[in-house]
Amino acid sequence: MKMFKHKHKKLAIATSITFGSLLIIYLGISIYFTNHFSFGTSINCINVGGKTVDEVNKEITSNIKSYTLVLEERDDIKEKLIWKDIGLKYNGDDKVQSLKENENPFYWIIGLFNKKKFNMPEIISFDEELLKKAVNNLSCFNDSNLIEPQNASLKYTENGYEIVESISGNKINKDVLYNHIKQAISTGETKINLESIDCYEKPQYTSNSKEIIDAKDILNKYISSKITYTFGEHKEVLDGSKISDWLKVDKDFKVAIDEEAVENYMNALSRTYDTYGGTRNFTASSGAAIAVSGGNYGWLIDSDKESEYLIGAIKKGTVTTKEPAYAQVALYRGDNDIGNTYVEINLTKQHLWFYKNGNLIVDGDIVTGNANSKHSTPPGTYQLVYKEKDATLTGPNYATPVAFWMPFNGDIGIHDATWRATFGGNIYQTDGSHGCVNAPYNLAESIFSNIDAGAPVICYF
C-alpha cells in the first residue's frame, strides 16, 4: 500500500513538471507573438507569419518596388505592367499595425492548423490615370494587331453547303480586363491569364450553334431541288448551282429565297422562249419571206404564277420535269409556232388565204380598215379568240348584224359584209371598215366552218 502511494506521488510530480514546462514554453512563445504575426497568417498573398509589423511593411514595400503584372494573352503573347508605370505605392503602415493589434498572441497555436488569409487592397494604391494610359498602350489594343471575332459561316460547294468555322480573333473587352487588372494589383497577384478570366470577345455563332446547323440543313434541302422546264424540244434545267445564287442567310442565320432573283430568272426564260408579240419570219403565199411583228399570238409565260410555284417547289426540295405556267399558249412549239393552220391577210393586196393542215381551204379579196379615217387594220400575228354565228356588231352610230363573226384583235375580227358589192383593190383606203376584215359571204362561211379558236391570223403589208 505504501509502495503504491509512493509511485502515485512520483507520477503526479512528473506530470506537474511537464505541464509547467509546457506552460512556460507556451507563454514564452505567446510573448514572442505579441510583436510577431501568428503562424499561417498572410496579407495579400504574402506570408507574414513570424514577422513583425516593421518587417511586413518593409517586405510589402520591397515587393511593390519590384512588382510586375504579367498578362498572358493568346498565341503565347505576354505583356507586362510595371509598378512605376502605374504609380504603385504602399500606404498601409497603420493598417498592418492595426491588424497586428487585433490579433490575440495566445491564439498562435491555432495558426498551425487554421491559416488566416487577409485581403487588404486598401494598403496598396495606384494612379488611376497612369494605369488607364498603361492599359491603353498595351499592344493587344493596337488596331494593327486586332483580329475581330467572326461567326461561323456557310459556304456553297460542289458537295452542298458546308460550315466554315468561326474565328475567335483576339479582341478584348477592355472593361473586363481593366477591372481584373485593378483587382490583381490590389491583391498582389503577379499574373493574369486573359483566357481564364474570359475577357476575349467571342463570336456569337460557332459551328456547333443550332442556328447555323439548322440553316445548313435548310439550304441543302433547297439546293436538292431540280426543276427541268420543257419548251418543246428545248430544256432548261434549274438545280442547286443556280438556286444557291438565290439563297440569302441573314446575320441570325434565317434563310430566305431572293424573290427578285426568281422573277429575273422567269423573265429570262420569257425573253428566250416567249413568242407573244414577237417578230416572226413568215413565208407568204406569194413565196416572199417577210418578217411580221406585233400582235397577240404566241407563247407567254405567266411569270408571277410560275415564280410563286418555283419558290414553293424549292422550299420542298422538289425534283420534277414540267412546262411553266402560261398566260397564253400557241398551237405549236418550235421555231414556227404558227403551224400549218392559219389565216393569212395581205393588207396591201387586200387578199385573204385560209390554210388548214397545210392545205389551202379558201382565199379571196377582202376590205380592211379605212386608212384615211385612221381605222387601218393593224399588222401583226393574232389569235382567233372565238367564233360566233349571227352576231350583231355595234359601235358609234351603228349596229350591224353579221352571219359569221370571228374576232382576233379586240373588237377587230373577220366577218361577212353582204352590204358590199365589191372587195379588194383600193377600197380600204377611202371606204374601208372600222378595222375589221370584211369578207364576201361565201369566204367568211368557209373560214367559219373550218377554223377553231386559237388559230393564228397573220396580217401584214
What are the residue numbers of the active site? 415, 436
Task: Map residue 238 onto helix, strand or coil.
Answer: strand
Q: To 10 degrees, the CA torsion angle through 117, 118, 121, 122?
A: -170
Q: Which three cell numbers stand for residue 428?
A: 380600204
Is 394 in a helix, a strand, or coil?
Answer: strand
The C-alpha cell that represents 446 in the structure block? 368557209
Q: Which residue, among 259, 151, 163, has the nearest Cα to 220 in the 3D structure?
A: 163
Rounded Cα distance between 353 and 368, Å, is: 14
Written as nine digits, the cell of 448 is 367559219
- What SS3 class is residue 268? helix
SS (H, E, C) 34-49: CCCCCCCEEECCEECC
Beta strands in 57-143 (DSSP E): 68-72, 78-82, 89-90, 116-118, 124-125
Q: How many CB atoms lie within 10 A of CB 8?
A: 10
